[in-house]
Structure 1
Amino acid sequence: MVFFNRMFMRLSSNYFFYFALLGLISPYLSVFLDGQGFSSRQVGEILAFITATKIVAPSLWATLADKTAKPLLIIRCGALLALLSFCLLYWFSLPEVNAYWFAQYSTSLYWPITLCLACFMLFWTAILPQLEVHTLNSLKQSSKIYARVRLWGSLGFIVLAVIAGEVTTVVGSQAFPGLGVITLALLFSCTLLLSAKKTIRLTKTKATIAIIDKLTEWRFIRFFIAGLLLQVSFAPYYGFFALFLRDLNYSGLAIGLVISLGVVAEVIAFIFMGVLFKRFSLTTLLVFSLAITALRWFLMPVVADSLLGLAIIQLAHAASFAIYHSASMRFISSHFTVMQQSRGQAIYLGGVYGIGGAIGAYITGLLWLEGQGADNAFIIAGISALLATFIMAFNKRQWR
C-alpha cells in the first residue's frame, strides 16, 4: 500500500506540472509575445508556426518510442530538452539581450524567439503520449485510479493559470519565461522519480499496414473536417483570450480565474461522460458540442464586459472540449482496429490540432489588429464552428 501511494504521488506530480505548464502557455503566451513588442499579425504567425509542429511531432515521437521500447527515456529527454529550450527563451527575452540584438542586427528577436518556442513545442509533445502509456501500464489499466491521477493535471492547470495571471499583473509579461523555466525544472525532476516498466514490442502484421482504407472512408473524412474546423474556431480563445480580457481591463487574477472556470467545467463533464455515452449517440454528442461552441464564440464579444456573463459562457467549455474530446476518442477507438489505434490517434490529433490550430492562429493574427478586430475574430470563429456543426449534423447514419 505504501508503494502504491508513492507511485500515485509520482505519477500525479508529473501530470500536475505538465498541465500546469499548459495553464501558463495557453492563456499567457500571447501576452508575453505582445510584451516583446510583436504585432498581432506576428503573434498569430508565431502561434501558427509552433502549432504546426504538432503535425509531425506526435508521429515522430511515437515511432521513436516504438523502436526503442523505452517510453520513460522519451519522457525524460522531452522534459529536459523542453527545459533547455525555455531557458534559451528566457535569455533571449531579457531586455539587455533584446537591446544588444537590435543594436547589432537592426532587427527584433522575432526568429530567435520563434525557433525557441518551436523547439520547445517539438520536445514538449513527446511527453504526454508516453506518460499516458507509462501511467496506464503502471496502474494496470485501472480507469478509476487513472481518473484520479489525471485530475491532478487539471488542478495544475488551474493553479498556475491563477498564479501566472496575478504575477503577470505585478511583474509584467517578463514573468512568463521565468515561470516556464521553474515549472519545467519541476516537471523534469518529477520524471526522474518514475520507475521503468517493461514494455512489449508488437510485431507488424497486415492489420497494422492497411490503414489507408480507414482514412479514406467518408465517415472519417467528415469527422476529420469537422474537428479541423473546430480547432480553427478555438484560435482566438487559445491564443488571444488573455489579451482580450486584459484589454477589457480585467485584472490578472480575474483572468486566471475565468480561464480556470472553463477547466473546472471540463473536469465535471469528464466525470459524467459515462452517463452521457449511455443516453446519447456519438453523432448527437458531437453535434451538440459543435453547436454550443459556435454559440459560445458568437456570444463572447456580447457578454465579455460582464464578469457574470463571461463566467456563464466559460461553462460551455464542458461541451466545447470535454464532451467533444471524449466523443472523438470513442469514435477513433471504434473506427480503427486495435493495431491501428496509435497511428489513427497520431494522424487525427496531428492533422486536426496541428493543421487546424495553425490555420486558426494565422487567421486570428491577421484579424486581431491589436485588439481592434477581436469581435470579428470571434465571429469568424463562430462561423467556423457552425460550419462544422452542419457538416456533422447532415449525417445519414447515427454513430454509436
Structure 2
Amino acid sequence: MSLLPFSRFYFCYFAFLGLFNPYWPLYLERLGLSPWQLSVLVSLLGIARIVAPTFWGGFADRIGRRKPVLRATTLVAAFAFLPILWIDSFWPMFAVLAASHLFWAASLPLVEAGAAEATRAVPGRYGRTRVWGSIGFMAVALLAGYGLMKASLDLLPMLLAVGLFVIAAAAWRVPETGARPTSGTTPASLASLLARPGLPALLAACFLMAFAHGPYYTFYSIALSGMGYGQGSIGALWALGVICEIVLFWKLPSLHKRFGLGEWMCASLAAACLRFALLATALTHPAAVLFAQTLHALTFGLHHASAVALLQRAVPPEQQARGQGLYLAVSFGLGGTLGGLVAGALWPTGGAPLVYGVSTLAALIGFAVSLSVRKTLAV
C-alpha cells in the first residue's frame, strides 16, 4: 500500500496546526479576551479530543469503514468553522469552535490507525510517513510568523478556514485500511479494552505528557511575546522544535534497531522534565530557550511515535481506530485540556515559572509511570 496519501494528509493537518497553535492565542489576546477566556477557547480543541476520537473511532470500527467517516467529519468541520470569520466575542466563538472541533478531532485517530497498520512490520516507516506532518507544521509556522508580522493577525481566521477545507480535500484520498468486523460479532467493550495488560499505564504516561504540554500550547507564544520576542522570532522557535522533530522522525528506522519502544517512552518523558524546567526558569536566556525547543524532538516526536507503536501492539486489530482514538482522547484531549485550563487559572498568579513548574512535575511523574510501561510492554 502506498503511504503517500497518509503523508499528504499529515502535511495538511499539521500545516493547519502550524497556524493554529502558535498564533491563535495571540489572535484571541488581540481581541481583548481575559487569560481565562483565552485558555478556555484554546482548550476547546482538547475538550473535543476527549469525546470525538473515541466516539468516531468506535463508530468506524463498528461499521468496518473509516473512509466515509473521515471524509464526512473533515468536511463538516470546515463548514462549521466559517462563522468565525464574522464574530469576535467569547460565547459565539465558544459555540462555533466547539461545533467545528467536535468533527475536526475525529480525523487524526482514523488516519493514525491506518498508518499504524500500513507500517506495522517496520515501525520506523511510520516516522518517515508522519514526518510530512512536521514539515507542514514547520513551514506554515515559520512563513506565517513573518507573513502575519508584515500583514495582520486579522487574517488568521480566514487562513484557518482555508486550511480546514484543504484538510478535507486531503482526507478524500486516504485509502480504506483494516479488516471489517466479522458478521454477527460484537466489538469488545471499552472496559475490556482498558483491561489489556500495560494499556492503563501507557495511557497514564501519555496523559501526564500531554498535561505537561498544555501550558506550552496555550501560553508559550504569549510568554515569549511578554519577554520581547517578536512574531517572527516566535514562529522561528516553533519551527526549530519541529525541525528537530523532523530529523528524529527520519532517524526512527535506525533508532528502532538499537532501542526498544519502552526505552523511547522513558527517554521522551525524561527530556520533558528538562525542557519544562528550562521554560520555568530560563525564558530570559535565548540560548536556553533555543535548547529547550530542540527537546521537542523527544517530548513530542519520540513520545508520539512510541505511543502509536505501543498502542498498535496492545490493542487488537479490530479495535485499532478505537484504540488510537482512546489514546488521543486521554492524552491530547483530557491531558492537554486539563493542563491548559490549570495554566489559565495559574497564569495571572505566577506566570511562566509557576505553570511550567507544574509541567515539570507532571513530566516527572510520567517518567516514573513510563518505567512500568517499559517493563510491561517491552518490545
Shorter-chain TM-score above 0.5? yes
Q: 1:12/1:250 Cα in 2 relative to 1: closer, same or farther (>3 Å)? A: same
Matched, 1:90 2:85: yes
1:258, CA displacement in angstroms?
A: 0.8
**Percent identity for Structure 1 against Structure 2:** 28
Q: 1:188/1:331 Cα in 2 relative to 1: closer, same or farther (>3 Å)? A: closer
Matched, 1:332 2:311: yes
Is the CA contact 1:225–1:388 (under 8 Å) kept in the aligned structure 2?
yes
Match for residue 375 of structure 2? 397
**What do the CA deviations read for 1:165-197 (whole angstroms, capped 9, x no partner)?**
2233234432220210222233334455x3876
Match for residue 164 of structure 1? 144
**What do the CA deviations read for 1:344-381 (whole angstroms, capped 9, x no partner)?**
222232122211111111100011129x6122111111
Match for residue 221 of structure 1? 200
Matched, 1:177 2:172: no
Work out the CA distance in 1 between the residues paired with 2:169 and 2:260: 43
Match for residue 291 of structure 2? 312
**What do the CA deviations read for 1:17-38 (whole angstroms, capped 9, x no partner)?**
2211011112222112111211
Q: 1:165/1:75 Cα in 2 relative to 1: closer, same or farther (>3 Å)? A: same
Aligned residues: 377
Work out the CA distance in 1 between the residues paired with 2:158 and 2:265: 39
Match for residue 257 of structure 1? 236
> 1:27-38 to 2 correspondence within 5 Å?
27-38=22-33
- Give the alignment partner of residue 37 of structure 2, picking from 42, 56, 60: 42
Q: 1:139/1:368 Cα in 2 relative to 1: closer, same or farther (>3 Å)? A: closer
The TM-score normalised by the length of structure 1 is 0.82
Identify the range of structure 1 (289-298 vs 35-44) with the bigger mean alpha-carbon deviation.
Answer: 35-44
> 1:291-306 to 2 correspondence within 5 Å?
291-306=270-285
Give the secondary-structure state (helix, strand or coil) at the position aligned to 1:37.
coil
Match for residue 131 of structure 2? 151
Match for residue 257 of structure 2? 278
1:78, CA displacement in angstroms?
A: 2.4
Match for residue 180 of structure 2? 201
Is the CA contact 2:127–2:252 (under 8 Å) kept in the aligned structure 1?
no
Work out the CA distance in 2 between the residues paired with 1:217 and 1:66: 18
Q: 1:278/1:208 Cα in 2 relative to 1: closer, same or farther (>3 Å)? A: farther
Matched, 1:375 2:321: no
Q: 1:396/1:200 Cα in 2 relative to 1: closer, same or farther (>3 Å)? A: closer
**What do the CA deviations read for 1:120-146 (whole angstroms, capped 9, x no partner)?**
211112333344567789999998887
Give the secondary-structure state (helix, strand or coil) at the position aligned to 2:337.
helix
The TM-score normalised by the length of structure 2 is 0.87
Match for residue 119 of structure 1? 99
**What do the CA deviations read for 1:108-128 (whole angstroms, capped 9, x no partner)?**
x21110121122211112333
1:321 corresponds to which letter in structure 2?
Answer: F
Give the secondary-structure state (helix, strand or coil) at the position aligned to 2:249.
helix
Match for residue 104 of structure 1? none
Q: 1:228/1:196 Cα in 2 relative to 1: closer, same or farther (>3 Å)? A: closer
Is the CA contact 2:70–2:110 (under 8 Å) kept in the aligned structure 1?
yes
2:85 corresponds to which letter in structure 1?
Answer: Y
Is the CA contact 2:80–2:100 (under 8 Å) kept in the aligned structure 1?
yes
1:303 corresponds to which letter in structure 2?
Answer: A
Q: 1:119/1:63 Cα in 2 relative to 1: closer, same or farther (>3 Å)? A: same
Larger radius of gyration between Structure 1 and Structure 2: 1
Work out the CA distance in 1 between the residues paired with 2:359 and 2:11: 30
1:80, CA displacement in angstroms?
A: 2.3
Q: 1:247/1:388 Cα in 2 relative to 1: closer, same or farther (>3 Å)? A: same
Q: Which consecutive residues of structure 1, in runs of 5 or more, have no partner in the other structure? A: 94-108
Work out the CA distance in 1 between the residues paired with 2:203 and 2:117: 29
Match for residue 342 of structure 2? 363
- Give the alignment partner of residue 327 of structure 2, picking from 339, 348, 353: 348
Work out the CA distance in 2 between the residues paired with 1:133 and 1:344: 8
Work out the CA distance in 1 between the residues paired with 2:18 and 2:228: 21
Work out the CA distance in 1 between the residues paired with 2:323 and 2:72: 25
1:90 corresponds to which letter in structure 2?
Answer: L
Q: 1:86/1:383 Cα in 2 relative to 1: closer, same or farther (>3 Å)? A: same
Q: Which consecutive residues of structure 2, in runs of 5 or more, have no partner in the other structure? A: none
Work out the CA distance in 2 between the residues paired with 1:234 and 1:213: 29
Identify the range of structure 1 (210-219 vs 315-324) with the bigger mean alpha-carbon deviation.
Answer: 210-219
2:370 corresponds to which letter in structure 1?
Answer: M
Is the CA contact 1:72–1:131 (under 8 Å) kept in the aligned structure 2?
no
Work out the CA distance in 2 between the residues paired with 1:139 and 1:215: 24
- Give the alignment partner of residue 46 of structure 2, picking from 47, 51, 55: 51
Cα RMSD (Å) of the superposition?
A: 3.2
1:331, CA displacement in angstroms?
A: 2.2
Identify the range of structure 1 (37-46 vs 335-344) with the bigger mean alpha-carbon deviation.
Answer: 335-344
